[in-house]
């Protein structure tokens, strides 16, 4: 059941993750983001270590400083992906340090 149509092109994955337990006093934090397009992994980023560079800390294997990976709406900008015409499925998962995971799947048509 494909519910949305988008144009063919290059897209960046922008993610905003909110941990509802945090509001109740339990803090664990987001540890890993993983995304699959049509069953193939195209993003798998972990917050388990940081590189020190001349420009600052770099998390998630992205460029430094890591503060630039967050946009004005508080979303983390992950890898870009060209999406060709056809039907596609994007599955996104977020994991916290406690081992909890949450995911969603978006099915869409590209024209």
pLDDT bin (cut points 50, 70, 90) of residue 56 is: confident
Give me the pLDDT at residue 45, please.
Answer: 78
Taking residues 9-21, report their average pLDDT: 72
Taking residues 42-48, report their average pLDDT: 78
Q: DSSP string spanning 47-68?
A: -S-EEEETTEEEETTPPSPGGG
Which domains are present in the chain? 4-47+77-110 (2.60.40.10)
- Residue indicated by tokens 């916290």: 96
Residue 7 has pLDDT above 80, yes or no: yes
The pTM for the full model equals 0.70
Give me the pLDDT at residue 64, please.
Answer: 58
């Amino acid at each position: 059941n494909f519910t949305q149509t988008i144009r063919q092109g290059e897209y960046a994955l922008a993610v905003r993750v909110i941990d509802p337990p945090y509001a109740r006093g339990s803090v664990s934090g987001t540890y890993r983001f993983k995304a699959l397009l049509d069953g193939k992994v195209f993003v798998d980023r972990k917050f388990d270590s940081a590189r020190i560079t001349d420009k600052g800390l770099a998390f998630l294997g992205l460029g430094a400083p890591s503060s630039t990976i967050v946009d004005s709406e508080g979303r983390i900008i992950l890898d870009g992906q060209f999406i060709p015409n056809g039907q596609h499925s994007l599955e996104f998962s977020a994991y916290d340090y406690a081992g909890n995971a949450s995911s969603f799947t978006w099915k869409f048509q590209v024209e």
